[in-house]
Amino acid sequence: MTTPEAPLAERMRPRTLDEVLGQEALAGPEGLLRRLGSGTPPSLIFQGPPGTGKTTMARLVAGLAGARFEQLSAVLSGVAELRRAVDAAEQHRRLGGQATVLFVDEIHRWNKAQQDALLPHVESGTVALLGATTENPGFTVIPALRSRCRVVRLTPLSAAQTETLLRRALQDAERGLGGRAPALTDEALGVLARAADGDARRALSMLEDVARRVAPGEAVDLARLADLAGRAELAHDRDGDAHYDVLSAFIKSMRGSDPDAAIYWLARLLEGGEPAEAIARRVVILAAEDVGNADPRALEIAVAAAQAVAMVGMPEARIVLAQAVTWCACAPKSNAAYRAIDAALERVRATGSLPVPLHLRNAPTALAREAGHGRGYRYPHDHPDHLVRQAYRPPEVAEDVYYQPAPHGAEKTIAERLAWWAQQLAKRGDDPR
């Protein structure tokens, strides 16, 4: 039971499945939770961004099953707290026959040992585990525990669903703002809903903050809202999947030669609080990996941008990054150098440390020269075109081809140069030994 002093987001938490917005797979007419009966519910892991209802769903599961609800935070709790919760669950089952739902918020924060301590109690049915995580359980929950749970994905609310939630809060006299509600215009309400980025808790918190700053019934249009709420931060958890999703889209847009998409995702990263220096490092990597020798200037520009970003900082760094990002997005692409080094590394790991041919070895001492080091080496500058036919690799890998230039951009010229060199050497018929 919430009190009037509780935050608006807590007061407006859905009490029944019919109040849940979105999450059709769980709360819809054919949703999983609609089929729950009394008794011990199934173990579930709710995965989703903040504000999508993971805690709400856990409480509803317990209520629908008629089970006790025990909550732990993986940030604040450890094995000792888990043992106390399990002991209480066993006592309630023994004395009253009541099942216990153990809700572990941010379960990904528990390490392997802590998750191992939970496993036997889930296996025995002492508790039904309901975990909540913003991370991918495939990486953060141990396989044994994950195999005993059903992973359910919660999705962000749409802007329309968020707006519906805000209207409920404005009109609900018991749990919402009721008589203290401001009079938001439809346009202002829509902007507030979109600014929440699908996070119900955030939407209600922003609305409550606006209500605190104005008189009840005061008109709030778009301009007034901008004064009250300021610039809303975009959803971008730098430690979670959202971060990597946006970063992935950013890289793939540059690789795919779409400068407008690349600039959009750059803006998302910057608005989400991603450090400009971290973005610059990614651009440097892309310049080498995906542009490569098709346009060698891309790496020069990316490195210069990284240095400039460190020099000037934000907000001016955004301009530097925009120049580097658009150049890389518009540059011809080649991953030939990237493929070449990976192929060579694979070959080295397979063949081991093959001996360096004698004629390529360093000969700094008389002893080394007597051993044949450097004997027979042919100095390219002593030959026409500074080119001489000569073995530069161990014989076991002499026929391998690692670098295959792309047929466009600057690499087209490189490919033509390599082909011309091969023709010249073939004409001379020099002995490569």
Domain ranges of the chain: 22-153, 159-229, 246-330, 355-428
For 120-160, how does the pLDDT look when each residue is reduced to its tens digit (9 = 90+)?
999 999 999 999 998 889 889 999 999 999 999 999 999 99
259-271 helix and 276-286 helix, angle to the nearest 10 degrees: 150
Question: Read out DSSP for 104-125?
Answer: EETGGGS-HHHHHHHHHHHHHT
Nearest to 402 by CA among 346, 357, 329, 327: 346
**Residue 320 to residue 327: CA distance in whole angstroms:** 11
| SS3 (DSSP) at 2 | coil
Q: How many other C-beta atoms can be found within 10 angstroms of the C-beta atom of residue 429? A: 7
Which of 49, 265, 241, 58 is closest to 157 using CA atoms?
49
- 159-229: CATH topology is Helicase, Ruva Protein; domain 3 (1.10.8)
- Average pLDDT rounded to a whole number, residues 338-361: 90
Q: Which of 413, 7, 423, 433 is nearest to 207 (CA)?
A: 7
CA distance 60 to 144: 26
- Rounded Cα gap, residues 289 and 278, in angstroms: 17
Apex 348 CA angle, 342 and 354, nearest 5: 155
Q: Could you give the 3-state DSSP secondary structure of residue 102?
A: strand
Question: What is the pLDDT at residue 246?
Answer: 86
pLDDT tens for each residue of 254-281: 999 999 999 999 998 888 778 889 899 9
Mean pLDDT of the chain: 88
User: Model confidence at 232, in pLDDT bands (50, 70, 90)?
Assistant: very low
Determine the pLDDT at residue 40. 75
Judged by DSSP in three states, 171 sits in helix
3-state secondary structure at position 358 = helix
> Which one has a higher pLDDT value, 1 or 379?
379
Going along 59-214, which residue ranges are E strands? 68-73, 100-105, 128-133, 150-153, 183-184
Query: What residue has token string 């023994």?
Result: 94
pLDDT at 39: 65
Q: What is the pLDDT of residues 397-421, one digit of tens each?
A: 988 998 988 898 888 998 898 899 8
pLDDT given for residue 319 in this prediction: 95
What pLDDT, on the 0 to 100 scale, is given for residue 2? 66
Instruction: Report the alpha-carbon distance of residue 246 to residue 282 in Å, rounded.
Output: 13
Under CATH, what is the fold of the domain 22-153?
A: Rossmann fold (3.40.50)
What residues contact 384, with CB distance under 8 A and at least 6 apart? 424
The confidence band for 368, taking pLDDT boundaries of 50, 70 and 90, is confident
pLDDT score for 1: 57
For residue 433, give both structure tokens. 């030994």
Assign 291 a pLDDT band (cuts: 50, 70, 90): very high
Mean pLDDT of 286-308: 95
Three-state DSSP at 354 gives: coil
- The per-residue pLDDT for 432 is 43
Locate 10 and state its tokens. 């807590």
SS3 content of the chain, % helix, strand, coil (to 5): 55, 5, 35
C-alpha angle with apex 58: 244 to 245, nearest 5 degrees? 10
pLDDT at 191 over 50: yes
Structure tokens at 279: 């973005």
The answer, yes or no, to whether residue 240 has pLDDT greater than 80, is no
The CATH architecture one would assign to domain 246-330 is Up-down Bundle (1.20)
Cβ–Cβ < 8 Å for 210, 225: yes
15-59 tens-digit pLDDT: 999 999 988 888 888 888 888 766 678 899 999 888 899 999 999
Spell out the long-range contacts of 310-313 with Cβ–Cβ below 8 A and sequence spacing 24 or more. 310/277, 310/280, 313/276
pLDDT of residue 430: 55
pLDDT tens-digit profile of 83-109? 999 999 999 988 888 899 999 999 999
Instruction: State the chain's maximal CA–CA distance in angstroms.
Output: 99
Percent of the chain with pLDDT over 70: 94
Determine the pLDDT at residue 231.
47
Residue 180's pLDDT is 86
Cβ neighbours of residue 175 under 8 Å, at least 6 residues apart? 2, 11, 12
The DSSP H or E segment spanning 44 is strand 44-47
Q: What is the pLDDT of residues 242-257, one digit of tens each?
A: 667 888 899 999 999 9
Residue 36: CB atoms within 10 A of its CB come to 17
The Cα 135–Cα 273 span in angstroms is 19
Please list the alpha-helical segments (H only) found in 12-96: 24-27, 54-65, 79-96
Q: What is the pTM of this model?
A: 0.59
Q: How far apart are CA 292 and CA 336, in angstroms?
A: 7
For residues 276-296, one letter each, b for 16 or more C-beta atoms within 10 angstroms of the residue's C-beta and e for the rest, the string is beebbebbbebbbbbbbbbbb
Number of Cβ within 10 Å of residue 69's Cβ equals 16
